[in-house]
Amino acid sequence: MRLRPGLPAVCAAIVLSTACFARQYRHSPRIAIVDGDPIVQMKPQGELPSVDSARLVPAERHSDLPDEVDRVIGVVFGSEARAYPVGLLDKFEVVNDMAGTLPFVVVRCALTGIAAVYDRRAAGRRLTFENSGALWRDTLVLRDRETGTYWTAATGRALTGPLRGEALTGIPAAVTRSDSWQKFHPETLYLDLDRSTAVSLPMRLYEASPAQGVSGTRTADRRYRPKQEVSVVGGESEAIAFEAEELRGAERIERSVDGHSILIEWDAALRIPRAYQQGIDRREIPVVPMYWFAVDRHFQRIWTWSEFARLAGARARTEN
């Protein structure tokens, strides 16, 4: 059983840690200014750990298998299922891995609630990523060792460096409870780094706090609570964001997002949303979880579930 600290201790820890990181943010070096916002070097390059070659083991051999309610990032490659415990990724935010000939990277930014998987190939090169120790818009910035380019974990875009303007291709992944994933994929291989897979106390304190990252920037968009975790589908120019519970009630929606016809539906087995790009070749596309305040900072135009529902209702009334 994991104990929760008393309320006074929680409040004191939140206030002290937030003030400390905000002060560090203000005085840390700036690498570059991208779209009006600085890439801030919070930690020296190479200080924060990354994983160059993931070690995956069956559940029965794992050193600290996630609890049933703990979340994992699950991916499937052909007949092979893999799971990356979120609590472990909070400690190792960048994990390079391979599936056959496909190189990919699993990224986790606890400050913004982002959990995503990207193809490691860009501009005809296979890249190896590390945690740069920098933040852009309060979000983890990756750095590839081959060219020294900096990439945002939010959308996979290259922010500055030789590959600036390139973008990593997202790989569909399921962020769900460990028991749901294990039930649906009993032969899963789990990332094992001989460390605890539980979400740490500092991360739990941060999740419960009103802090929106460490920069001091706060969202003025109140369509969702700033720390509400939402699911995001789309590109930087346009995206749709929604709570899982909203989709569970409707089960599926279809609309144009960022110039593409997108179908979003509820996966009852894993209790997650899934999205597909419609067309001649129907294909699954990523659904990325993140806090609402981060969505507001990374996407130019954001549709919410209620806004889409109103538009659909108005269109139906017009047609009738």
The 3-state secondary structure of 30-60, one letter per residue: EEEEECCEEEEECCCCCCCCCECCCCEEEHH
Do residues 229 and 144 share a domain?
A: no
Domain boundary residue among 176, 200, 233? 176
Residues 188-219 have pLDDT tens digits of 999 999 999 999 999 999 999 999 999 999 99
Query: How far is the C-alpha of 186 from the C-alpha of 287, rounded, in Å?
Result: 23
Return the pLDDT at 17. 59
Do residues 170 and 236 share a domain?
A: no
Domain boundary residue among 143, 176, 209? 176
Q: Mean pLDDT of all residues in the chain? A: 90
Return the pLDDT at 103. 97
Return the pLDDT at 107. 98
Note whether residue 191 is domain-resident. Answer: no
Return the pLDDT at 232. 96
Number of domains in the chain: 2
Note whether residue 55 is domain-resident. Answer: yes
Note whether residue 196 is domain-resident. Answer: no
Return the pLDDT at 4. 45
CA atoms 76, 152, 238, 71: torsion sign:
positive
Residue 226 CA, chain-centre distance (Å), reads 16
Note whether residue 14 is domain-resident. Answer: no
Query: How far is the C-alpha of 239 from the C-alpha of 77, rounded, in Å?
Result: 26
Note whether residue 98 is domain-resident. Answer: yes
Which residues form the domain of 148?
Answer: 31-176
Q: Quick check: 318 pLDDT over 60?
A: no
Q: Quick check: 8 pLDDT over 60?
A: no
Contacts of 225 by beta carbon, 8 Å cutoff, 6+ apart:
292
Note whether residue 18 is domain-resident. Answer: no
Query: How far is the C-alpha of 166 from the C-alpha of 159, rounded, in Å?
Result: 9
Amino acid present at 22: A
Query: How far is the C-alpha of 215 from the C-alpha of 240, rounded, in Å?
Result: 25
Do residues 171 and 36 share a domain?
A: yes
Contacts of 236 by beta carbon, 8 Å cutoff, 6+ apart:
155, 157, 298, 299, 300
> Binning pLDDT at 50, 70 and 90, where does residue 111 land?
very high
Note whether residue 278 is domain-resident. Answer: yes
Do residues 164 and 48 share a domain?
A: yes
> Binning pLDDT at 50, 70 and 90, where does residue 245 land?
confident
Mean per-residue pLDDT, 109-138: 97
* Of residues 318 and 268, more confidently modeled: 268
Do residues 246 and 132 share a domain?
A: no
- Residue 175 bridge partners (DSSP): 73
Q: Quick check: 155 pLDDT over 60?
A: yes
Do residues 157 and 225 share a domain?
A: no
- Residue 125 bridge partners (DSSP): 122
Do residues 161 and 50 share a domain?
A: yes
* Tokens matching residue 145: 């060792």
Question: 204-209: long-range contacts at Cβ-Cβ below 8 A with a sequence spacing of 24 or more?
Answer: 204/4, 205/5, 205/10, 205/13, 205/14, 205/17, 206/14, 206/17, 206/110, 206/111, 208/10, 208/14, 209/14, 209/18
Return the pLDDT at 13. 54
* Weakest-pLDDT range from 44-53, 84-93, 136-145: 44-53
Domain boundary residue among 156, 176, 196? 176
Return the pLDDT at 307. 86
Do residues 35 and 171 share a domain?
A: yes
Residues 11-65 have pLDDT tens digits of 555 545 565 677 788 889 999 999 999 999 999 988 999 999 899 999 999 999 9
Q: Quick check: 67 pLDDT over 60?
A: yes
Return the pLDDT at 12. 53
Query: What DSSP character marks residue 157?
Result: B
Q: Work out the number of other CB atoms within 10 angstroms of the CB of residue 106.
A: 25
Taking the model in full, what pTM does it have? 0.91
Q: How far is CA 255 from CA 66, 74, 174, 246, in A?
A: 36, 26, 22, 16
Query: How far is the C-alpha of 67 from the C-alpha of 86, rounded, in Å?
Result: 11
The percent of residues above 70 in pLDDT, for the chain, comes to 89
Instruction: Confirm if 203 and 86 have CB atoms less than 8 A apart.
Output: no
Do residues 47 and 111 share a domain?
A: yes
